[in-house]
Amino acid sequence: MREITFIEAVREAQAEALASDDRVFIMGQEIGSYGGVFRATQDFVRRFGGHRVRDMPIAEQSMLGAGVGAAVTGMRPIVEVMFMDFVACGMDAIVNHAAKMRYMSGDQLRAPMVIRTQGGSGTHHGSQHSQTLESWFLHVPGLAVAVPSTPQDVKGLFKTSVELEHPVLFVEHRALYRTTGPVPDPVAPIPLGQGVVRRRGEDVTVAAVGKSVHQALAAALEMEEEGVSVEVIDLRTLVPMDVEIVLESLSRTHRLVVAHEAVERGGWAGELVARVVAEGFDELDAPPLRAGSKATPIPFARELEAAMISDERLIARRIRESLDLAEYSE
């Protein structure tokens, strides 16, 4: 089985979508002859033509609005928002138009589109280019949210996303772009709402998505040296969210930590914890805990960024707190 990088998987997923369906085209900033700031569309203009790989101005609301219009008229646009922070500029098109189209038209109009974006810390881009904002969109009916953690999942989730009849927010953590993983050929589509156990364990369940999955696995290895067995679940999508896989794991471990890089306050971890408490309260031997980032804009300085961002150290600390290992929790 071949090994490819995360960004190669993104590139291949988009190229395969373009090759298999003439209705698919891509819009974004610097995605044409430049090939994208992270090379997600490298060489696409030569392969597919400028009419299917369209450079857009720095106007996210207009770009996303054009994507909604194209989707409603029968196309299947992929709209790349260069940094996730910039979705704030296009919220109206996503939230009030793309997500609501089927509902407001009695299913006569649909907006099948993929909104690709990336974000996250670790590359020191500062407060306006480093946020993880996927939690905003859990509150929006009609919009799916996918957050892959491996190259294989990029391709499998993207295959599903580009064929759906409703909009999908496809979120990538840029710190994963150079990571590698095995990818079969072909990659089977992965249904949205289907999580996966990345590591089996007996004492604590940790649920995460994206980069936080890798941090949870690192924390699990650290805890193994202390005699603690940690199960790591990769939810893969947040809407729909595979609560059942978490409840099944909880029936064996009876403790839960939910990890994400987003600010802990108001993050999607709170939604999962609420569902677990409501549906699996009797399985809990300890309060479910969250491992999220501090409520402050992300600093540019490396040391300050590291101090406020959730990472494997915080996840390990929450695991110890869940097990009441007070002597290890500081």
Pairwise CA distance, residues 207 & 198, whole Å: 10
| 3-state SS, residue 125 | coil
| 3-state SS, residue 321 | helix
Report whether 80 contacts 27 (CB < 8 A): yes
Q: Which two tokens stand for residue 220?
A: 């699990």
Catalytic-residue membership of 139: no
Pairwise CA distance, residues 9 & 116, whole Å: 13
Name the one residue in this structure whose structure tokens are 């509902």.
103
Cα torsion 3, 7, 13, 17: sign: negative
For residue 115, CA distances in Å to 7, 68, 82 come to 16, 10, 10
Rg of the chain in Å (alpha carbons): 20
Q: Which two tokens stand for residue 55?
A: 């450079």
Pairwise CA distance, residues 258 & 309, whole Å: 15
Report whether 14 contacts 78 (CB < 8 A): yes
Pairwise CA distance, residues 26 & 28, whole Å: 7
What does residue 291 show for φ and ψ, rounded to 5 degrees?
-120, 90
Exactly one of 97, 125, 129, 254 is catalytic; which is it?
129
For residue 98, CA distances in Å to 74, 237, 279, 314 come to 13, 19, 31, 37
Quick count: other Cβ atoms within 10 Å of Cβ 59? 13
Q: Which of the residues are catalytic? A: 129
